[in-house]
Structure 1
Amino acid sequence: MSVTQILFWFLSILALFGALMVVVSRNPVHSVLWLIMTFFAISGHYIVLNAQFLAVVNIIVYAGAIMVLFLFVIMLMNLNKTTVPKRNRWIKLAGGIAGGCLMLVLVAALRDSELKGQFAQVNTGDIGLIKSLGKELFTTYVIPFELSSILFLSAMVGAVVLGKKD
């Protein structure tokens, strides 16, 4: 077994364990922290697949910004055991049946898939590298890239004007 395969399996187990803990954890703050760990494991998969830009964007956008917002919302809501309503056992049963049906549909859809002969290219090529992405953005797509930056700048100025107190 190569180092890449060991790293892949370690990151896969870490991501699955983190995702399971998001669902199982009773404390919402702990669920958010487990979700952040899951995002880091997924970013590790991107790095193994030689897609550094996706890994960095995943860490910055998801693990950084969105999870901090989730954490703030959970803290502002002040969720504790006294505010959580009791769940009826019929609702739990309906949730279990719905989850089982979803799993059945996924297994049926993936049963005939032909994935045995397909392999991901690891550490080869330059598709996901930041250098090749930057070169493509500033040569082929320079006009749409600059137009989107002007659009973001005008949106930022509009937000400052709207948010400014009189």
Structure 2
Amino acid sequence: MRIAIASDHAGYDQKPGMVEYLKSLGHEVVDLGPMSAERCDYPDFADKVARCVARGDADRGVLICGTGIGMALTADKVPGIRAAVIQTPQFAELFREHNNGNVLCISGRFTPFETNKQIVDEFLTTEFAGGRHTGRVEKIMREDDPSFEGVPADFGMEG
């Protein structure tokens, strides 16, 4: 699998180890930066990874910042991306099974490296379950269509 990875300065300490870990599993890794722990802006690196995945230049993306939150917010704005902050291996499994997640955002400050490796393992080895989840993922992705006007506010309400 081809994996695009990036961090910001807060996630940089874990990135080189994660790159090596992914390579040790036999994955091709595209390191999109940064190449030092100097202060930088996470949206720039989240955008690089998300667009790489959206174009099909990588199968999945991994982003590491202080919390993962800012990276997820940025990556999710790119059409075709389903990004989330994941803090446990079980959540990574469900993210893949139920949401067909394609960009994983993890915390380099609050989650130990060993736990992040387990999270990445689940993210990369768990398949999308399909079935009833397929229609839900399609509904998520309709938000990328500029012509989609949203679900009416009274949808599903009684009265």
Q: TM-score, normalised by structure 1?
A: 0.26
Q: Which protein shows a greater Rg?
A: 1
Higher relative helix content: 1
Taking structure 2 as the reference length, what is the TM-score of the superposition? 0.27
Name the one with the larger strand percent.
2
